[in-house]
Amino acid sequence: MKNVLVKMVAVIGLLSISSAAMAIDFNIDNTFATKFIGGTGITWVDGPVLMTTLGTSVAEGDHSFSATYWQVVNLDDAKGYDNSVDEDFVVESNANQVTEWDVFLNYTYSGLSFANISAGVAYYDFVLLPAAWGDETTDVYVNVNLKDVPLNPSFNFSYDTDGDNEGAYGNVAIGDSFEISGQPIGWGAKVVWSSENYAAAYFADGSDDDNSGIVAYNLSLSTSWDLKENLFLGVGVAYWQLTNDDGVLGRSHEDWESLGYDSPDSNTVASISLSATF
């Protein structure tokens, strides 16, 4: 899978070089956050992290392609679910180590009058986990963002292709903005759902309960400032709540805590980011 991703990134790069008619953008973002909560509401690192994003996009007419690399660095050795608890695989310190890196390849078509539609593949690598724990996985996804509709609704359908975690999940989201003293403030709300098999891998406590359906919800606020041309400072805060408060990843919260982990079922995370576009 890694070789396929490398080849696809190379194709996008060649397209960007070969066509002067295409609009090409490059972006970099560094975000400091009080913890790392993934897009499905699970707190992977319960402590301060630095998240870095590098991306490029190529657009022509109603078509655009993008390739993105993302990573998270654990800043203070806080234990998280992506740090191994296997007695035969001991990481002496997680401080200042990359605990996860991902690659996203995406195609978007914006020529429809009612929606933008995107499709892509996402590869996730959990650096500090042994292969026996499932140290990598690949998802395919489709996003639909409705146009000219109040609250800007969007829909995501994702499918994890990994044998152990295989299953569908996604979200339904809305969002808009308002102003305070002329400063625009964005807000968002999201509901995350999961199929039975995916929920059994990620949102279960080790029992035989079926935790599929709505598994998490999210509320967020954010704003940004233009520091200079193509350089932006952003701040945000988000609240996540898991609907199953018994446990995640096949263990109860009590079991995780007995292994030395903080295992919250709800969390508020604050972030500050510096980003540039070229």
Task: Count structural domains, the chain.
Answer: 1
Q: Residue 229's domain spans which residues? A: 2-277
* C-alpha–C-alpha distance, residues 178 and 184, integer Å: 6
Alpha helices in the chain (DSSP H): 2-18, 196-202, 253-258
Specify whether the CB–CB gap between 135 and 125 falls below 8 A: yes
Q: Does residue 212 sit in helix, strand or coil?
A: coil
Strand partners of residue 177: 186
The domain that holds 253 is classified in CATH as 2.40.160.40
pLDDT, one tens digit per residue, over 210-250 is: 889 999 999 999 999 999 999 999 999 999 999 988 899 88
Question: pTM of the full predicted structure?
Answer: 0.89
pLDDT, one tens digit per residue, over 39-81 is: 999 999 888 999 999 999 999 999 999 999 999 998 987 677 7
